[in-house]
Amino acid sequence: MDPSTPAKAVKHVVEAAAGKVADALTPDVPGAPGSAPPTVEEPTTPHDPLPPKPEQGTPDTRTPTGVATGVPPIAKGQQGAYLTTAQGARLRDTDHSLKAGPRGPVLLQDHHLREKITHFDHERIPERVVHARGTGAHGVFTGYGSAEGVTKAGFLAKGKETPVFVRFSTVLGSRGSADTVRDTRGFATKFYTDEGTFDLVANNIPVFFIQDAIKFPDIIHAGKPHPDREIPQAQSAHDTFWDFVSLHTEAQHHTMWNMSDRAVPRSYRMMEGFGVHTFRLVNAAGETVLVKFHWKPKLGVHSLTWEEAQMLGGMDPDFHRRDLYDAIEAGAFPEWELGIQVFPDTPEETFAGIDLLDPTKIVPEELAPVQPVGRLVLNRTPTNFFAEVEQVAFHPGHLPPGIDVTNDPLLQGRLFSYVDTQLTRLGGPNFAQIPINRPHAPVNDMLRDGFHQHAVHAGVAPYRPNSLDGGNPFPAGVDDGAFVDVPVTVAEAPKVRANPVSFDDHFSQARLFWLSMSPVEKEHIIRAYTFELGKCYHQAIRERQLRCLANIDPVLCAEVATGLGLPAPQPTVPLADVAPSPALSQVGGEWPADGRTVGIVVDPTSDLDGVDQLRRAVFGAGMVPLLVAPHGGTVGDLPAQRTFATGRSVEFDVLLLAGAPTPAPDAIPARDAKAGAADSVTVDPRVLLLVEECWRHAKAIGAWGDGVAVLREARVSGTPGVVTGDSGTEVFAAVQRLMAAHRVWERFPASVA
Ligand code: HDE
């Protein structure tokens, strides 16, 4: 707004902002930054705030002590018509400091300058010590009632709906690091239940590197960048990581998962989640069982190829964040089922010979099936990333009545760590009062004061016993819905720093995982170990890790040794005789393709009516079509979302060719590095590069009309997963059938059985 002409009247609702108004060039394609398209000229008329984007949600409006306020969420509270100070005084100018004359020094009395700069100076808070890079979304959890026999937790009751906030994350990288690095993913869910908040702070890998929390600083120091040069960022392909895991062999099982496709997910929407530890459930009669929690994604478990992951690190470091938010915006709401594996609560705390307190072990689903107990749907993106995703604070000790912990020594340490870390990260003990962390159950604690206290506590007696507040608050009995610690008997034992003997088996389940993989998954694991160890500087560390692999499987060890140019050592322990668990493999099933992206190459000579029909068919199938054209703007009447210069294969799940574009004017190596990738005078070389990369990454490719010529030029005609037909819609139907398997696996020749 021009400060010399403050507007006289506030114009009410901006007509364009009444609903979701799509930009003429990108109709229906998710990713528009605002709820209304911008004008080319800077707006000069004050008006009421624009509505939030339709897919955005906010934390529930509660008091700091959890009471519903009934106030509608003010989605954009800071978007009113007139600029103000932090105290609400209207400002006339925020673009110039107050100076002694236009060329004079700035005056100390400029309170607006000082307020603005001081606040800016303190905008950052410490990033999370682990899981710093993350993404979150709001949703709803609906109980099936199937767990009522084993737990009294009310949010699992049949049909009960509970609001949730989920944060996905990588572990090692800093807050600004790339999404697609090879790493474990966090999958933390905050259930705002009527009986108190329940946090299921899970990962996408069901085991952990260490058996005792006291080793957590060690594994994280080893995985984080080297302390001297602070490299490499967000990855395990370096000496300190492999130094630690090869010496601390209980890490071998988790490391094997990290070398598998699980560590490079295609999408957060396509990941399983695991509570890792065994928990104890208690029902209304006081009976207990032991359980492991699982999240099962509706879309199946799918991964990127390692080359895609690396390319995306440069092309689109926000790939997973964008994928989650675009899917929600497009209405392809991500879904999971929560399931439990149930074990009898025996004094030994073992099942089928597996120690349930050892977090480096799974219980194969074939031995204890995962029983669904509810459904999670993510349906709202955050309104403000910092307020919600950055400030959300999870804690495995946030438990409602009906769910309790076990003596797993890793879990026990976590119960200390998660509150402690927030004191530094969120600046004091009152982090539970930050809007995203406010419980939806009324809070009557006796915790008082401290930094950033938001509650205005009534009463004079925050202590017990008291008579001055009439004795309030009183302890609740079981019938009043109290959380009662399960009175587990602790066996008489000496005080020691030691593990149970059963924790000494470090290789059998790494072998179980390896033997459960399909050939192509084994091939990927071999390549991952070879890549990561190949990045280590010291040969001694590679040799030591090969000794570990020898104790897991001789084929794996020999293949990796070959790649490293080292001899394969002999095992030092007998190879475990384990039965594979087919449930661990990601290959072989069929799943929905909701929210996938379909790249469609077009040029002005394409059958544009047919392309328009195809776009509608893609939208109709719950996917996102992205037209890739020789230049920006439109092709005919159709909007181009990508050009040959801006588009890259890694953002598409499948590629469709509606034409054979000849080289565009900018297809010269001096202007576009991609143009040098293929040598063709008839087809734009960047289109050939798209085909080549999609083929190499085992993605389905389809062509019709002139597009068929591109397949010939790229020499992929007639190969598996490459389909042609008479029209775009016919080809898309065939491609959809291929997409159900995620990739055209036949294109990956595996060297191992
Ligand atoms: Fe965490 N972990 N962790 N962790 N963890 C944190 O808490 C810790 C472990 C997990 O999106 C921190 O608020 C210890 C296992 C997730 O905000 C910290 C140990 C599992 C997230 C912490 C573990 C997890 C965290 C850092 C060893 C899977 C991200 C910031 C005993 C079951 C939560 C924070 C979010 C975050 C400690 C091991 C999952 C420091 C001491 C095992 C998903 O408190």
pLDDT tens digits for 129-162?
999 999 999 999 999 999 999 999 999 999 999 9
Contact call for residues 320 and 179 (beta carbons, < 8 A):
yes
Q: Is 697 a catalytic residue?
A: no
- Dist. CA 191–CA 392, nearest whole Å: 12
CA-nearest residue for atom 18, ligand 1, is 418
Q: pLDDT-derived band of residue 14, with 50, 70 and 90 as boundaries?
A: very low
Ligand 1 mean position to 421 CA, how many Å?
10
Residue in 203, 204, 384, 551 annotated catalytic: 203
| Chain mean pLDDT for the chain | 94
- Mutation probe of ligand 1 site: the residue of 187, 201, 321 with most atoms within 8 A of C-beta: 201
pLDDT for 266 beyond 90? yes
Number of the ligand 1 atom closest to the C-alpha atom of 359: 42
Nearest to 422 by CA among 451, 446, 454, 449: 451
Q: Which two tokens stand for residue 613?
A: 């029909």
Q: pLDDT-derived band of residue 74, with 50, 70 and 90 as boundaries?
A: low
Contact call for residues 373 and 340 (beta carbons, < 8 A):
yes
- Sign of the Cα pseudo-torsion (360, 363, 366, 372, in order): negative
Ligand 1 mean position to 208 CA, how many Å?
11
- Mutation probe of ligand 1 site: the residue of 171, 410, 417, 434 with most atoms within 8 A of C-beta: 417
pLDDT for 18 beyond 50? no
Nearest to 666 by CA among 676, 656, 675: 675
Number of the ligand 1 atom closest to the C-alpha atom of 186: 43
Q: Calculate the alpha carbon distances from 726 to 306, 618, 704, 723, 731 in Å.
A: 34, 17, 6, 11, 7
Residue owning tokens 């497009």: 330
Q: Which residue has the higher pLDDT, 20 or 249?
A: 249
Dihedral Cα 171, 552, 745, 644, nearest 10 deg: 40
Q: Is 395 a catalytic residue?
A: no
pLDDT for 7 beyond 90? no
CA max distance for the chain: 91
Ligand 1 mean position to 259 CA, how many Å?
21
> Which protein residues are within 6 Å of ligand 1, measured from CB?
128-131, 134, 167, 169, 186, 188, 201-203, 208, 213, 216, 276, 392-394, 410, 413-414, 417-418, 421
Residue owning tokens 């016993």: 465
Q: Which two tokens stand for residue 553?
A: 């499987």
CA-nearest residue for atom 29, ligand 1, is 131
- Dist. CA 695–CA 655, nearest whole Å: 9
- Dist. CA 745–CA 425, nearest whole Å: 45
Ligand 1 mean position to 733 CA, how many Å?
43
Instruction: Spell out the residues 6+ positions from residue 377 whose beta carbon is closer than 8 angstroms to its own.
Output: 139, 140, 142, 333, 334, 335
- Residues above pLDDT 90, as percent of the chain: 90
In 229-266, which positions are buried (b, 16+ CB within 10 angstroms) versus exposed (e)?
A: eeebebbbbbbbbbbbbbebbbbbbbbbbbbbbbbbbb
- Dist. CA 270–CA 624, nearest whole Å: 17
- Dist. CA 494–CA 196, nearest whole Å: 36
Number of the ligand 1 atom closest to the C-alpha atom of 212: 31
State residue 678's pLDDT score: 63
Amino acid of residue 640: A
Classify 685 as helix, strand or coil.
helix
State residue 714's pLDDT score: 95
- Dist. CA 116–CA 120, nearest whole Å: 6
Q: Which residue has the higher pLDDT, 682 or 674?
A: 682
Residue in 131, 238, 440, 697 annotated catalytic: 131
Instruction: Spell out the residues 6+ positions from residue 41 whose beta carbon is closer than 8 angstroms to its own.
Output: none
Q: Which residue blocks in 259-408 are alpha helix, DSSP H?
A: 306-315, 319-329, 385
State residue 21's pLDDT score: 36
- Mutation probe of ligand 1 site: the residue of 125, 129, 131 with most atoms within 8 A of C-beta: 131
Ligand 1 mean position to 378 CA, how many Å?
22
Q: Which residue blocks in 358-484 are alpha helix, DSSP H?
A: 385, 409-425
Lowest-confidence range among 17-31, 326-340, 364-378? 17-31
pLDDT for 106 beyond 60? yes
Q: What angle do CA 575, 580, 582 make, to 5 degrees?
A: 160
CA-nearest residue for atom 44, ligand 1, is 418
Number of the ligand 1 atom closest to the C-alpha atom of 129: 26
- For 584-650, the DSSP string reads G---S-----TT-EEEEE--TTS-HHHHHHHHHHHHHTT-EEEEEESSSSEETTEEPSEETTT--GG
State residue 5's pLDDT score: 34
Q: Which two tokens stand for residue 365?
A: 């689903």
Nearest to 413 by CA among 421, 401, 425: 421
Contact call for residues 212 and 358 (beta carbons, < 8 A):
no
Helix 239-247 vs helix 539-550: crossing angle, to nearest 10: 40
Across the range 497-520, mean pLDDT stands at 97
Ligand 1 mean position to 472 CA, how many Å?
35
pLDDT for 25 beyond 90? no
Q: pTM surpassing 0.85?
A: yes
State residue 491's pLDDT score: 87
Contact call for residues 606 and 635 (beta carbons, < 8 A):
yes
Ligand 1 mean position to 634 CA, how many Å?
47
Q: pLDDT-derived band of residue 460, with 50, 70 and 90 as boundaries?
A: very high
Q: Which two tokens stand for residue 11?
A: 């114009």
Amino acid of residue 176: G
Q: What is the pLDDT of residues 201-238, one digit of tens each?
A: 999 999 999 999 999 999 999 999 999 999 999 999 99
State residue 248's pLDDT score: 98
State residue 748's pLDDT score: 85
Across the range 84-91, mean pLDDT stands at 95
- Dist. CA 632–CA 609, nearest whole Å: 19
- Mutation probe of ligand 1 site: the residue of 187, 214, 414 with most atoms within 8 A of C-beta: 414
Q: pLDDT-derived band of residue 675, with 50, 70 and 90 as boundaries?
A: confident
Ligand 1 mean position to 569 CA, how many Å?
36
Cα 636 off chain centre by: 38
Residue owning tokens 């406010």: 438
Number of the ligand 1 atom closest to the C-alpha atom of 276: 32
Across the range 52-76, mean pLDDT stands at 86
- Dist. CA 209–CA 155, nearest whole Å: 31
Across the range 395-422, mean pLDDT stands at 98
Classify 208 as helix, strand or coil.
coil
pLDDT for 418 beyond 70? yes
Number of the ligand 1 atom closest to the C-alpha atom of 417: 44
Contact call for residues 597 and 653 (beta carbons, < 8 A):
yes
Across the range 83-92, mean pLDDT stands at 95
